[in-house]
Amino acid sequence: MKIAVIGTGGQLGTELQDIAAKRTDITWVFAGLEVVDLSKPETISAFVMLEKPSVVINAGAYTSVDKAETDQALALQINGHAVGTLAKACSEVGATLIHISTDYVFNGNNTTPYLTTQATDPVNYYGYSKMIGEQQALAAHATGTAIIRTSWVYSFYGNNFVKTMLRLMGERESLNVVADQQGCPTYAADLAEACVAIATANNFVPGIFHYSNSGAITWHTFAATIGALAGKKCTVHPVPTSAYPTPAKRPAYSVMDLTAITVAYPTVKVYAWEDSLKRCLQQLGALA
């Protein structure tokens, strides 16, 4: 089996490289920006046609939520049209596609976890661009595409909420963190593990799936728990979203129901958010 990973510089791509170092039974190809630039469609098709992988994991994306509000053309190309191009190329070589999407395709009006079957209605352009990517992937390669929506991703690698909180808590006596947005964190190492479980499953099941760690919390709860587990003395104050206006609106509620992925792929493991946070903090050397 050959697995090709697009988007190697991000949190998920780097975690997949860690798995690849251990899973030597699989042939891995990692395509960084110098090989596959999602803003340049010709590089996508050329790479897939050259490598002819069994599975492509698309970990590449335009991820700047606020910047996407003004940088719409580039966000739409990378998160939308490029995904359609990639799905078409996968279809032509008989490869399956595992594409990473987001909880931000939802409007946040729910009060119970979002099902994979619920209608999308993004409240910002980033979410819109990711929704277009989902639609184009399924239109081009419906029987060979698994879309995984995830949320609040953090990792040992890259820049993320956990590492930012640790840094700020070491610099300040108190922090204000939004307490009226509810969702669930996802440790990128767990997401990478789930992607490989799907890629190597005996029976590939196409469609849309949700994957995060389990539970439902606010950003404030997340921050306070990071501080407590890391033994930080910093006080974390809850504040409303209105206290931190941003160019892009965020959904107030984006907890996702994880049932579909565990039914279709029994080897996919779902971990409690606090347990995964402890593992990441331990890896960072920050666990008290």
Which residues are designated catalytic?
A: 126
Task: Tell how strand 96-102 and strand 55-58 pair up.
Answer: parallel
The answer to whether 144 and 96 are in contact (CB under 8 A) is yes
Give CA–CA dist 85/236, Å, rounded: 44
Neighbours of 111 (CB within 10 A): 8
Buried b / exposed e along 152-184 (16+ C-beta atoms within 10 A) = bbbbbbbebbbbebbebbeeeeebebbbbbbbb
* C-alpha atoms less than 13 angstroms from C-alpha of 261 in its C-beta half-sphere: 28
Output DSSP code: residue 61.
-
DSSP secondary structure of 126-137: HHHHHHHHHHHH
Pairing of strands 217-218, 182-183: antiparallel
Angle at 240 between CA 238 and CA 165, to 5 degrees: 50
Which residues partner with 57 through β-bridges?
5, 98
Residues 6+ apart with CB under 8 A from 114: 103, 106, 210, 254, 255, 256, 257
Q: Residue 198, exposed/middle/buried by CB under 10 A (0-12, 13-18, 19+)? A: buried
Cα 138 to Cα 209: distance, rounded to the nearest angstrom = 13
